[in-house]
Structure 1
Amino acid sequence: MSGLHERHLAVSPEWLALYYRHPIELTHGEGRYVWDADGNRYLDFFGGILTTMTAHALPEVTKAVAEQAGRIIHSSTLYLNRPMVELAERIAHLSGIPDARVFFTTSGTEANDTALLLATAYRRSNQILAMRNSYHGRSFSAVSITGNHAWSPTTLSPLQTLYVHGGVRSRGPYAELSDERFIRACVADLEDLLGHTREAAALIAEPIQGVGGFTSPPDGLFAAFREVLDRHGVLWISDEVQTGWGRTGEHFWGWQAHAEHGPPDILTFAKGIGNGMSIGGVVARAEVMNCLDANSISTFGGSPVTMAAGLANLSYHLEHDLQGNARRVGGLLIERLRGIAAGSDAVREVRGRGLMIGIELVKPGTDEADPEAATAVLEAARAGGLLIGKGGGHNTSVLRIAPPLTLTVAEAEEGASVLAEALRAAG
């Protein structure tokens, strides 16, 4: 055990998990690669949990951060903040929400917490609909609506949460149905649920479940849900913390795969927009955002430094069509991984979109999740010079692959080759 690991254990909570039997300290990065304290280089296929969206040490972002830090680092939302207004203007336009207002936070957890505050205040109800297997953050309110119990440490809650079918396509009672019948069954479940409850405030949903193992419903499910929600006056919150900013390749926002009835009432974002800087936020139409009747500020949300990073990162992203790159390179990577998986009876499914890919592992010859195999592949990949993540349901048996969106075809092939060997070694 390293000295730093021992010091970590001495001062950190037991529930603050570290990857690997022998945890590594990452000291620097460049592009899609990072280095540890021992000088080992790794191809990064996880990006600090989908957060280093563009590239490590991207010159445009580091320059913007340094220049802003040289002027002023902090002011709070009590003062006009030019970088904050400029980034809010761009995000409001990109969100697709009419008459949009933007509130910045420091994380996705805080963004979702704010969205819940807005929805419950607007609807005068503390009842929230959420998806089974979902994850929305680590605050008291966020864990209380999280449907993945491995990440929800308490049943105590300020909210009454009811869980809806639909977030997982290939498991559960509707798995054997066609996409069309799957959607109809989930809509019927939602209708039945709303018929037996008091007025709900909102449905919160990840278009693709992140921690849950990159699972998703058929396209159009949330559009069908929206018809039901609108009849009951229930708001739709789209949690885009992991699916936003073009990561799925086909769309800029995950909700756009379900766009028949327009954008959500509230959209939350975080992670990739700051390329590692701490940015989260909420977008909502003015009527919803302005419903609070008490004072509120954010001390650190909208920090001049993080806003400068977000502006530079977003500009680079759009100018270099990283969404298109995610679609092209991600499509090639998914097909390559499916080819590898075809030769392994331990892989149940390779799923995902763009550069958001999950490989679900099971015990060979069964449909039973195999978290030990996922841990073994994680270790073998690290030994081969590749960093990936894991998640999924209650058993963390899904390998999570989410590289920076500047990933090249050669790097995708390099990572796929390491994963192929890691799957063989772990099997």
Structure 2
Amino acid sequence: MTDDLLGRHRAVLPDWLALYYEEPIEITHGEGRHVWDSHGNRYLDFFGGILTTMTAHALPEITKAVSEQAGRILHSSTLYLNRPMVELAERIAQLSGIPNARVFFTTSGTEANDTALLLATTYRRSNTVLAMRNSYHGRSFSAVGITGNRSWSPTSLSPLQTLYVHGGVRSRGPFAHLDDQGFIEACVDDLTDLLGHTRPPAALIAEPIQGVGGFTSPPDGLYAAFREVLQERGILWISDEVQTGWGRTGEHFWGWQAHGQSGPPDMLTFAKGIGNGMSIGGVVARAEIMNCLDANSISTFGGTQITMAAGLANLNYLLEHDLQGNARRVGGMLIERLRAVAAQVPAVREVRGRGLMIGIELARPGTDEAYPEAASAVLEAAREGGLLIGKGGGHDTSALRIAPPLSLNVAEAEEGAAILERALRSIQ
């Protein structure tokens, strides 16, 4: 029983381990874009286990690859040659756009970002890092230290000195009133001024679209403009693609490509969707950066054979079925549909996003004040209507997060939009 499971959960797991819903649900199985709970209720899944079930639930091509690999060997560590790891690394290096790329696999986005920080600070001999306000990069000690979102930052202690930069949120902050070009210029001026008051940092780490921050993003070209300033000083650019990678934004395979006028980043990190539920993360970096460590290292679980088999099958399916194109087409339709609904709901401040990465920010009607109670109410109403979504945001968690599997079809998008419309109207 779910109630008994909830009691057992509370008895042995941390109080800070968040659960959705006043009556939390246990998801027992899934198929395609749908999941079922332990009471037999069926839901259209618009969150994919936090953007992780990227392709589909129980996709035969992936389950077959995992099953076949499990019948051979599950794991051997990086101390031995590993064919699936090499094959997936070759594919990702080529797709990354980073010249002379090297790939290191981890088990999560947190660990990937932690590794990127280790590489950047070692390569640059500096423990100062630039990060964006409203950002989120993981739950490790170093990743929390560069997270610019109070809701997900439980301590100010850190091995790093972090300087926070303007620009990750277009519609809030001191430059929100400017047009896009003015916004970029003001953020660049602020960055340049900041760098004039500190010793040169190791790197800027930034999400092209801020995930936990509520799917916010700057105008296209901001990070290209930042890159020019950074390159003059030898500062690295790390693109955190944990949520934006693999074509989710529709227009681009990687989020950095919306800011690619000055070329690819020095490093990118990835995780979540590439494993379609299996634990895969990683870092791609130029060889001289990746190879800068002068001590031994291994990864016990990063690159293990069964996760690599899943990643290869998932990536093949994604590319062969043009799921990036599907995200662009179906996501574009879904955003327009939601904007039409939002125009009739005073509590909706903004509908934003790209492809199948859509945020709906709520505010108290007639104000810009955060409205977390409304976000929670819509989350509950959507679940009651048969739809699972997420929430986030840097202003008291007032944004709804919509990120279905990239194979979502038009009929499912329409169904989800109709449920969301009813849920949004219920808070008026």
Whether TM-score is above 0.5 comes out as yes
Please give the alpha-carbon distance, in whole angstroms, between the structure 2 residues aligned to 1:196 and 1:280: 35
Cα offset for 1:14? Answer: 0.4
In the alignment, which residue of structure 1 is the partner of 2:322?
A: 321
Please give the alpha-carbon distance, in whole angstroms, between the structure 2 residues aligned to 1:424 and 1:157: 43
Cα offset for 1:366? Answer: 1.2
Residue aligned with 2:426, SS: helix
Residue aligned with 1:376, SS: helix
Cα offset for 1:83? Answer: 0.2
Please give the alpha-carbon distance, in whole angstroms, between the structure 2 residues aligned to 1:149 and 1:207: 19
> C-alpha offsets along residues 31-66 of structure 1, whole Å, 9 cap, x if unaligned?
000000000000000000000000000000000000
TM normalised by structure 2 equals 0.99
1:369 partner amino acid: A
In the alignment, which residue of structure 2 is the partner of 1:60?
A: 61
5+ long unaligned stretches in structure 2: none
Cα offset for 1:148? Answer: 0.4
In the alignment, which residue of structure 1 is the partner of 2:188?
A: 187
> C-alpha offsets along residues 283-332 of structure 1, whole Å, 9 cap, x if unaligned?
00000000000000000000100000000000000000000000000000
2:329 partner amino acid: R
The reply on whether 1:45 has 2:43 as its aligned counterpart is: no
After TM superposition, list the pairs within 5 Å mapping 1:169-318 onto structure 2.
Answer: 169-318=170-319
Please give the alpha-carbon distance, in whole angstroms, between the structure 2 residues aligned to 1:191 and 1:60: 49
Please give the alpha-carbon distance, in whole angstroms, between the structure 1 residues aligned to 2:168 and 2:367: 22
Please give the alpha-carbon distance, in whole angstroms, between the structure 2 residues aligned to 1:166 and 1:232: 20
Please give the alpha-carbon distance, in whole angstroms, between the structure 2 residues aligned to 1:321 and 1:337: 24
1:79 partner amino acid: Y
1:59 partner amino acid: P
In the alignment, which residue of structure 1 is the partner of 2:154?
A: 153
Cα offset for 1:365? Answer: 1.5
In the alignment, which residue of structure 2 is the partner of 1:87?
A: 88
The runs of 4+ residues in structure 1 deviating greater than 2 Å are none
The reply on whether 1:107 has 2:108 as its aligned counterpart is: yes
Cα offset for 1:214? Answer: 0.3
Whether contact under 8 Å (1:380, 1:426) holds in the other structure is no
Give the superposed CA RMSD.
0.5
Whether contact under 8 Å (2:220, 2:258) holds in the other structure is yes
Residue aligned with 1:192, SS: helix
Residue aligned with 2:288, SS: helix
In the alignment, which residue of structure 1 is the partner of 2:392?
A: 391
Please give the alpha-carbon distance, in whole angstroms, between the structure 2 residues aligned to 1:105 and 1:342: 43
> C-alpha offsets along residues 183-232 of structure 1, whole Å, 9 cap, x if unaligned?
00000011001110012000000000000000000000000000000001
Residue aligned with 1:2, SS: helix
Percentage of pairs with the same residue? 83
Please give the alpha-carbon distance, in whole angstroms, between the structure 1 residues aligned to 2:297 and 2:89: 18
Please give the alpha-carbon distance, in whole angstroms, between the structure 1 residues aligned to 2:427 and 2:36: 24
1:139 partner amino acid: S
2:28 partner amino acid: T
Please give the alpha-carbon distance, in whole angstroms, between the structure 2 residues aligned to 1:425 and 1:258: 38
Whether contact under 8 Å (2:370, 2:395) holds in the other structure is no
Please give the alpha-carbon distance, in whole angstroms, between the structure 2 residues aligned to 1:184 and 1:343: 34
1:320 partner amino acid: H
TM normalised by structure 1 equals 1.00
Whether contact under 8 Å (2:346, 2:365) holds in the other structure is yes
Please give the alpha-carbon distance, in whole angstroms, between the structure 1 residues aligned to 2:135 and 2:372: 18
Please give the alpha-carbon distance, in whole angstroms, between the structure 2 residues aligned to 1:136 and 1:292: 22
Please give the alpha-carbon distance, in whole angstroms, between the structure 2 residues aligned to 1:369 and 1:64: 45
After TM superposition, list the pairs within 5 Å mapping 1:110-121 onto structure 2.
Answer: 110-121=111-122
2:326 partner amino acid: N
Residue aligned with 1:426, SS: coil
In the alignment, which residue of structure 2 is the partner of 1:131?
A: 132
Whether contact under 8 Å (1:149, 1:394) holds in the other structure is no
Please give the alpha-carbon distance, in whole angstroms, between the structure 2 residues aligned to 1:76 and 1:357: 37
Please give the alpha-carbon distance, in whole angstroms, between the structure 2 residues aligned to 1:399 and 1:336: 15
Please give the alpha-carbon distance, in whole angstroms, between the structure 1 residues aligned to 2:198 and 2:61: 51
In the alignment, which residue of structure 1 is the partner of 2:424?
A: 423
After TM superposition, list the pairs within 5 Å mapping 1:402-417 onto structure 2.
Answer: 402-417=403-418
In the alignment, which residue of structure 2 is the partner of 1:31?
A: 32
The reply on whether 1:379 has 2:380 as its aligned counterpart is: yes
Please give the alpha-carbon distance, in whole angstroms, between the structure 2 residues aligned to 1:251 and 1:360: 24
In the alignment, which residue of structure 1 is the partner of 2:75?
A: 74
Please give the alpha-carbon distance, in whole angstroms, between the structure 2 residues aligned to 1:274 and 1:394: 31
Please give the alpha-carbon distance, in whole angstroms, between the structure 2 residues aligned to 1:149 and 1:233: 30
Cα offset for 1:426? Answer: 2.3
Please give the alpha-carbon distance, in whole angstroms, between the structure 1 residues aligned to 2:240 and 2:365: 34
Residue aligned with 1:296, SS: coil
Whether contact under 8 Å (1:27, 1:35) holds in the other structure is yes
Residue aligned with 2:71, SS: helix
> C-alpha offsets along residues 85-126 of structure 1, whole Å, 9 cap, x if unaligned?
000000000000000000000000000000000000000000
1:92 partner amino acid: A
Residue aligned with 1:415, SS: helix
1:265 partner amino acid: D
Residue aligned with 1:8, SS: helix
> C-alpha offsets along residues 226-278 of structure 1, whole Å, 9 cap, x if unaligned?
00000010000000000000000000000000011100001000000000000
The reply on whether 1:351 has 2:355 as its aligned counterpart is: no
Cα offset for 1:364? Answer: 1.1
> C-alpha offsets along residues 384-419 of structure 1, whole Å, 9 cap, x if unaligned?
000000000040000000000000000000000000
1:8 partner amino acid: H
Residue aligned with 2:102, SS: strand
In the alignment, which residue of structure 2 is the partner of 1:168?
A: 169
Please give the alpha-carbon distance, in whole angstroms, between the structure 1 residues aligned to 2:167 and 2:28: 40
In the alignment, which residue of structure 2 is the partner of 1:97?
A: 98
Please give the alpha-carbon distance, in whole angstroms, between the structure 2 residues aligned to 1:164 and 1:414: 39
